[in-house]
Amino acid sequence: MSSTSSFNAEEHQKMLRSYFNGNGFNRWSSIYGNEKLSTVRTTVRQGHAVMMDKAYEWLDQLNLPENSAILDAGCGTGLFSIRLAGNGYKVKAVDIAAQMVDKSREEASAKGVEDRIDFEVSTIESVKGSYDAVVCFDVLIHYPAEGFIEAFKNLSSLTRGPIIFTYAPYNRILALQHWIGGFFPKKERRTTIQMITDENMQKAMKETGMVVKNRKKISFGFYHTMLMHAERK
């Protein structure tokens, strides 16, 4: 495991921005798109869809009023933002990578929901506003504990409602190997998936005054993640 003491937030963001505007954009926009994929990546696409369905189900069960404002932090190609907008929510969609935001906007426009989504190139650490709920999928998995807690503090400060997110729990060595293989090409291995210990998760909850309401392990082929719903006490 990499030590968190040498974590440099600025450098880390720089690396993620560069990856998700380049190789990462190509890789993930194809996984989140419709084109034919390898068997491994097909399972990642399917697992991700299972995760999103479950997350949407949790959100739906909250019966938030129509027009509720939802932040999609690290929106990628906009899959969840577009689904939210199509179901009557007002969405703020932010991503560190301009290429991802452009793609989200293009997809939202094609689906006729762009007027319900406010797009911004921004980060999970610095995005601002006030929302009825925050979602953040497969983004915090790229953060070691120190960065995870800082980003989580910002995201949780933006809502009095739920934050629904995914992370990689510590101690799942096999899953980690799958993650690494499934997510990043060899030369991008620096951007490995970062596992969060229970202790650090408890610390994040304590420091933000949040409690875990629900959690579900999603494992599908080469896609493994923990989906979590937390809310203020």
Q: How far is the CB of 233 from ligand SAM (least distance, A)?
A: 26
Out of 13, 42, 46, 154, name the contact with ligand SAM by CB under 6 A: 13
Q: How far is the CB of 221 from ligand SAM (least distance, A)?
A: 16
Q: How far is the CB of 135 from ligand SAM (least distance, A)?
A: 8
Q: Which is nearer to ligand SAM, 33 or 112 (CB)?
A: 33
Out of 108, 139, 164, 193, name the contact with ligand SAM by CB under 6 A: 139
| Number of DSSP helices (H) and strands (E) in the chain, helices first | 8, 8
If DSSP codes are grouped into helix, strand and coil, which group holds residue 133? strand
Q: Is 28 in the site for ligand SAM (CB under 6 A)?
A: yes
One-letter amino acid at 102 equals D
DSSP conformation letters of 192-224 = ---EE-HHHHHHHHHHHTEEEEEEEEEEETTEE
Q: Is 137 in the site for ligand SAM (CB under 6 A)?
A: yes
Q: Is 16 in the site for ligand SAM (CB under 6 A)?
A: yes
Beta bridge partners of 93: 72, 119
Site for ligand SAM in 195-224 (CB under 6 A): none
Q: Is 100 in the site for ligand SAM (CB under 6 A)?
A: yes
What gap in Å lies between CA 117 and CA 137, rounded to an integer?
Answer: 17
CA neighbours within 13 Å on the CB side: how many for 192? 14
Q: Which is nearer to ligand SAM, 211 or 215 (CB)?
A: 215
DSSP 8-class letter at 128: -
If DSSP codes are grouped into helix, strand and coil, which group holds residue 170? coil
Two structure tokens written together for 222:
């080469």
Stretch of residues binding ligand SAM (CB under 6 A), selected from 85-93, 95-103, 167-175, 200-208: 95-103
Residues that bind ligand SAM (CB under 6 A): 13, 16, 20, 28, 32, 74-76, 79-80, 95-97, 100, 123-125, 137-139, 142
